[in-house]
Structures are given as structure tokens and as C-alpha cells.
């Protein structure tokens, strides 16, 4: 079985202290920094873009896991690569030519992931999954932190795992020490956690996820 990785989402960090928050989360034992980019179109909320990511790039050497919740993400892939992304995740629902967008991401030498909204079936990635480094199963509707875990996500994780035995499976939304265990059992190995990590002692919260 794959090692469990924890990817705290800076969506729940103090934006006025973003650099220090990234340093603190690195010290606390995070594996990735999960970076939620929202455009107010694909999702009903706006966060930040490539310049903000670039500004925190020199604060840590951890993997920058960039989750693009934006329409037509192919327009900005190069910008996010230049800003320091190590993994770029696009939504299957947001790009008309998913295969082309995946190849574009990989052409820059960074890892490629595809995310599925709660209502999107796994079939949407059936013909591209072998090209992917990571599949992101959304366990809430994207747009906000602090929402409740959607239980159907467990079945979806199992379906993705049945389709491909080696791809990284990331779960995002409502992950706590109470919901992470069933996701691990279903076959996921990378866990985004926003409100859970940032609402307590970062090190203790990350540890409690790894111990589940
Ligand atoms: C939701 C974002 C998540 C969010 C998770 O649209 O993609 O990464 O930060 O927050 P929690 O862990 O609080 O559900
Ligand atoms: Zn996310």
C-alpha cells in the first residue's frame, strides 16, 4: 500500500500571514501544500492566482499541489508552472478538451491531476487515467472550506482504484480524523485538509490524520 500524505489547504490559513503560515505548516509535518485557486465562475468564490503562489514559493521546498477551480484552465497552465507549481490539477468539468489539457500540463514537466466534482462519474476520466499522476476525488462541492464530507465519495474512490491500481488518489473536502480512515480503506493515499488542520495545533492535527 502507498504511504499516506497530508496536504493542508492554505484556503483556511490566515491570508495576511500567508508566508508564515506556509512555513508553520511545513514545520508541522505537512507533505504537500494544497493551493486552491478559484475564479468566481467555475465555483462561486474567488481566492488568488499565480502571483500569490509565486510570492510564497521560496518559503518552503514542499510540493506545491495546485488545485485549479477555474473555467478553461488551459489558459493559465504556463503561468502556474512559472509560479512554482509541482502538480497541477484541473477539473474534468472545466475544460472542453481534457486530454489536450493533460498533455499541456505534462509538456512543462510538472505532474498532472484531474479532479471530479461529487456529481461527476468516474467514467469521465476512463480514457485518460493512465496519463495521470493523480486523481482528485472531491468529497464536497468545491468553493468553500469547512463543508460536510459526502459519503458517496467512498464508492467513487473505490471505482477509481479499480480502474488504476497505481495512480495517486487524493480526497478533498471534509477530511478529519473521523473521515480519513474510510477513505484510506477505499484506496486513497493523499488527503487535503483545510479547516481541520488550521483550527487546531497544526502538528497535532496532521499527526492525528496520519494515525487516523
Ligand atoms: C474546496 C477546496 C478544499 C478546501 C477543503 O473547494 O478545494 O481544498 O480547502 O477544506 P476543508 O478541509 O475544510 O473541507
Ligand atoms: Zn482543493
Q: How confident is the model over 173-204, as pLDDT tens digits?
A: 999 999 999 999 999 999 999 999 999 999 99
Ligand 1 first shell, C-beta below 6 A:
9, 11-12, 34, 36, 67, 140, 142-147, 172-175, 192-196
Q: How far is the CA of 172 from the centre of ligand 2 (A)?
A: 6
CB-based contact 194:8 (threshold 8 Å): yes
> For the residues 59-70, what does the mean pLDDT come to?
99
pLDDT mean over 30-51: 98
Residue nearest to atom 1 of ligand 1 (CA): 142
Catalytic residues: 36, 172
pTM: 0.98
Question: Residues annotated as binding site for substrate?
Answer: 9, 67, 143-146, 172-174, 194-195
Whole-number Å distance, alpha carbon 19 to ligand 2 midpoint, is 19
Ligand 2: distance of its center to the CA of 87 in Å?
12
d(CA 130, CA 116): 16
CB 143 within 8 A of CB 43: yes
What pLDDT score was predicted for residue 212? Answer: 80
Grid cell listed for 133: 499522476
pLDDT at 31 over 90: yes
- Other Cβ atoms less than 10 A from the Cβ of 142: the count is 22
**Over the stretch 122-168, which tens digit does the pLDDT of each residue have?**
999 999 999 999 999 999 999 999 999 999 999 999 999 999 999 99
Pick the CATH number of 5-211 from 3.40.640.10, 3.30.430.20, 3.40.50.300, 3.20.20.70: 3.20.20.70
Q: What is the mean pLDDT of residues 68-75?
A: 99
Residue 74 confidence class, pLDDT cut points 50, 70, 90: very high
- Known binding-site residue numbers for a divalent metal cation: 34, 36, 67, 172
Nearest to 145 by CA among 29, 67, 203: 67
Domain ranges of the chain: 5-211
- Give residue 17's pLDDT: 98
Q: Which residue out of 147, 176, 177 has the highest number of ligand 1 atoms within 8 Å of its CB and is therefore the one to mutate?
A: 147
pLDDT of res. 175: 98
What per-residue confidence (pLDDT) applies to 2?
84
Q: State ipTM.
A: 0.98
1 pLDDT higher than 80:
no
Amino acid at each position: 500500500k502507498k504511504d499516506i500524505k497530508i496536504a493542508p489547504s492554505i484556503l483556511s490559513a490566515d491570508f495576511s500571514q500567508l508566508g508564515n503560515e506556509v512555513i508553520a505548516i511545513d514545520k508541522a509535518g505537512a507533505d504537500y501544500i494544497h493551493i486552491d485557486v478559484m475564479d468566481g465562475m467555475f465555483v462561486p468564490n474567488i481566492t488568488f492566482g499565480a502571483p500569490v503562489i509565486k510570492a510564497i514559493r521560496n518559503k518552503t521546498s514542499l510540493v506545491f499541489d495546485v488545485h485549479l477551480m477555474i473555467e478553461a484552465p488551459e489558459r493559465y497552465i504556463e503561468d502556474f508552472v512559472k509560479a512554482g507549481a509541482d502538480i497541477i490539477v484541473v477539473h474534468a468539468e472545466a475544460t472542453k478538451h481534457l486530454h489536450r489539457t493533460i498533455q499541456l500540463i505534462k509538456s512543462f514537466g510538472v505532474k498532472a491531476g484531474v479532479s471530479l466534482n461529487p456529481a461527476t462519474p468516474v467514467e469521465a476520466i476512463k480514457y485518460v487515467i493512465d496519463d495521470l499522476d493523480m486523481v482528485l476525488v472531491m468529497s464536497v462541492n468545491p468553493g468553500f472550506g469547512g463543508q460536510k464530507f459526502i459519503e458517496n465519495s467512498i464508492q467513487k474512490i473505490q471505482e477509481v482504484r479499480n480502474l488504476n491500481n497505481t495512480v495517486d488518489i487524493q480526497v478533498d473536502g471534509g477530511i478529519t480524523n473521523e473521515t480519513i480512515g474510510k477513505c484510506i480503506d477505499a484506496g486513497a493515499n493523499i488527503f487535503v485538509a483545510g479547516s481541520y488542520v488550521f483550527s487546531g495545533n497544526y502538528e497535532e492535527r496532521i499527526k492525528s490524520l496520519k494515525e487516523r
